[in-house]
Structure 1
Amino acid sequence: MDPSALPQHQKAATVARALQAEILQGQYGADGQLPTEPELVERFGVARETVRRALQLLKDTGVVASVQGSGTFVRRRPLRTTLRRELPPQGGPADWTDHGSEAWVPLDSSATWSSGRVPIELAESVRLEGEVAVWSCVLGVEEPRVPLQLVRTYIPMHVAAKVAVFDGGAPGGAAVLEHLEATDPALSWSLAVGARMPEPGEAATLSTPIGIPFIQTLRITRQAGAVVEATEYVVSSERFRITHRPDQAPVA
């Protein structure tokens, strides 16, 4: 099909699909360079802005990457690792790969509690309305520094006051759970695994194109039926797949 004969809004998508098909067929090699923008303009008979939009579509889905001053290249995707995950109710995740337990550590030493709100995409599951206390952390490998997972905990303000999180009384979500369990062991947990699209800042942190979804694990803690803690763990679906550990409970 001649892209130049299509409506303007379809031209970029058509060029992108044609280039992606050639990439999948190995025409440019594993990490080869694509034709230049002028060459693509001449080949497809479209405006340069259309070519740029087509290349941006491929970048957003992780198919290609730009190198400043050099051009656009086929992006070598990371090998996907199977992540066997155990999420104990009392603390953070224990993750295993084929290489054994992953010793992921916090990479952001400045992470602290702040006030905020539960994002719209979590509101139906978490059911915490109004202002809440929020803890955010980036986990990964320290040497070399590789961010692999984003963790975000939400707790109601009355729990935040009880645990004195804003006074440095609880360094993270795991400490909140320990405190709650010590004062009232009649807690219940639920775990769910799903997916969501990353925000631009999140995608940049985990070096994931914005068109590739995150795998999301959501733990919700309830006390007398009311949510007192919710923690979201996200990793790139391009880098990981998650499996259960049937010999452990609970798992995610």
Structure 2
Amino acid sequence: MDLSTLPQNQKVATMARVLQAEIIGGLHAAEDQLPTEPELMKRFGVARETVRRALQVLKEAGLVMSVQGSGTFVRRRPGRTTLLREFLPLGGPTDWIDRGSESWIPLAPPVWGRGEVPPELAERIGLGGEVSVWVCVRGIDADPRVPLQLVRTYVPVGVAEKLPGIEKAASGAAVVLERLSRTGSPLSWTLTDGARMPEQSEAVTLDTPIGVPLVQTLRITRQDGVVVEATEYVVSSERFCLTSRPDQETDSLDSAEGA
């Protein structure tokens, strides 16, 4: 894993790289406890603060985890599976894990609210100001139910106001697009797959380290040339790589094998 967020402090960076190499090389296996802070201070000839900062770098990269009162342990990283993603004409997507095994289910009631498109998406989506936002956290029907996918749908307030009751609907983009399709004007959309870094709240929601990129699919729907809906689907690149059927049309398709 690329420690792209290494600090400028050379001692911290050196220590983090050495421990990273040892973990990847198997010297410290999954669930093994790392040496204590005093032991690391002695080994690297550094102050306690340097040790803590280096360990924090490894935590953010998803390599280690702290257990209060016990120490720092090598984190068992989840196995990566293939996410096959298909999009249906009126919403979707229909997603499967491992090419067809299980579909997503909401892990909590999805909610509508009012908000703004995040700055990093606003320009790409072409929406600014207040929008209606639908948020859903999804997983698979397993025990325990682990949050695996975060979905956000953005609808211009003006569009939402023309769809009475839309903000009380349990569904997000699917019901929006279905309602819009009845107006007679055809809908068109673009799909783009890529990656971005998570926000702190997203990392917590998806139980993924803050330093692990998210695999992102962004759909933008237009009607009469105007953006009427945009939905972002994100999953942790630590858990998934992305693929699609050969006949699926997207702007770009990246498998996000890095991270």
TM-score (ref. length: structure 2): 0.88
SS in 2 for 1:183: coil
Q: 1:196 — aligned with what?
A: 196
The percent of aligned pairs where both chains have the same amino acid is 65
For residues 174 and 247 of structure 1, the distance between their equivalents in structure 2, rounded to whole angstroms, comes to 21
Pairwise CA RMSD: 2.0
Per mean C-alpha deviation after superposition, the further-off stretch among 57-66 and 165-174 is 165-174
* Larger helix share, 1 or 2: 1
Q: CA deviation at 1:12?
A: 1.2
For residues 184 and 78 of structure 2, the distance between their equivalents in structure 1, rounded to whole angstroms, comes to 44
Alignment of 1:1-252 (within 5 A): 9-98=9-98, 100-109=100-109, 111-144=110-143, 145-165=145-165, 168-169=168-169, 171-247=171-247
Deviations 1:68-123 (A, max 9, x none): 222111111111001111012312221223362322111121x3221111101111
The answer to whether the 8 A contact 1:170-1:176 is kept is: no
Larger Rg: 1
Q: CA deviation at 1:249?
A: 5.7
> Against the structure 1 CA distance between its residues 134 and 73, is the aligned structure 2 distance closer, same or farther, given a 3 Å change threshold?
same
For residues 77 and 244 of structure 1, the distance between their equivalents in structure 2, rounded to whole angstroms, comes to 25
The answer to whether the 8 A contact 2:113-2:134 is kept is: yes
For residues 238 and 39 of structure 2, the distance between their equivalents in structure 1, rounded to whole angstroms, comes to 31
For residues 98 and 113 of structure 1, the distance between their equivalents in structure 2, rounded to whole angstroms, comes to 30
Q: CA deviation at 1:10?
A: 2.1
The answer to whether the 8 A contact 2:193-2:215 is kept is: yes
SS in 1 for 2:69: coil
The answer to whether the 8 A contact 2:117-2:131 is kept is: yes
Amino acid at match of 2:46: V
For residues 8 and 162 of structure 2, the distance between their equivalents in structure 1, rounded to whole angstroms, comes to 58
The answer to whether the 8 A contact 1:86-1:249 is kept is: no
For residues 24 and 65 of structure 1, the distance between their equivalents in structure 2, rounded to whole angstroms, comes to 15
The answer to whether the 8 A contact 2:135-2:153 is kept is: yes
Number of residue pairs matched?
A: 245
> Against the structure 1 CA distance between its residues 46 and 60, is the aligned structure 2 distance closer, same or farther, given a 3 Å change threshold?
same
For residues 169 and 15 of structure 1, the distance between their equivalents in structure 2, rounded to whole angstroms, comes to 52
For residues 250 and 216 of structure 2, the distance between their equivalents in structure 1, rounded to whole angstroms, comes to 16
Any gaps of 5 or more consecutive residues in structure 1? 1-6
Per mean C-alpha deviation after superposition, the further-off stretch among 163-172 and 118-127 is 163-172
For residues 155 and 54 of structure 1, the distance between their equivalents in structure 2, rounded to whole angstroms, comes to 42
SS in 2 for 1:177: helix
SS in 1 for 2:182: helix
The answer to whether the 8 A contact 2:96-2:104 is kept is: no
Q: CA deviation at 1:165?
A: 4.4
TM-score (ref. length: structure 1): 0.91
Q: 2:3 — aligned with what?
A: none
For residues 172 and 193 of structure 2, the distance between their equivalents in structure 1, rounded to whole angstroms, comes to 22
